[in-house]
Amino acid sequence: MHLLRRLRRVCAHLASMVSSDRFPIRRFIVVEDSMRPGLEPGQGVIGVRWPRARPHQRRIVAHPDNDMLLVKRLGYRCDDGRWWVTADNPLGRDSADFGPVSLQPSWLVIIAVPRRWM
């Protein structure tokens, strides 16, 4: 019983690290349909802090006007260092609606968890 309680504490500690900004890997849940058909609402993604940004990468970025995080595809780098981001869904919101975004902070999407596993 003592071992089970200890194991639960270790798992809780690891989960808190994964959800903090200190750990380079973080999990996210997609809530909007702007990245359909590749990412569906309710689907999970795993992101990793990755300094090298390239066009066409899927990234988790901060919305420039509020505290929301967005999953978008990188378009091109603007002269001021920010990036123009696009939605895969033609009806989704992207930089055409809110302008370019900073990649500080950002996470490169490395794994899209199938929705049936969520």
Distances (CA, A) of 94 to 27, 82, 90: 22, 14, 10
pLDDT in tens, 7-43: 677 666 656 655 555 668 999 999 999 999 999 999 9
Task: Tell me which CATH code domain 24-117 carries.
Answer: 2.10.109.10
Contact by Cβ (8 Å): 118, 44: yes
Dig out the tokens for 98 from the structure.
């809110």
Q: For the segment 50-98, what is each residue's pLDDT rounded down to a tens digit?
A: 999 999 999 999 999 998 999 999 999 999 999 999 999 999 999 999 9
Domain range summary for the chain, segments of one domain joined by +: 24-117
Q: What is the pTM (predicted TM-score) of this model?
A: 0.77
Cα distance from N-terminal residue to C-terminal residue, the chain: 29
* One-letter amino acid for residue 6 of the chain: R
The strand pair at 25-29 and 83-86 is best described as: unpaired
pLDDT digits 0-9 by tens, 108-118: 999 998 877 76
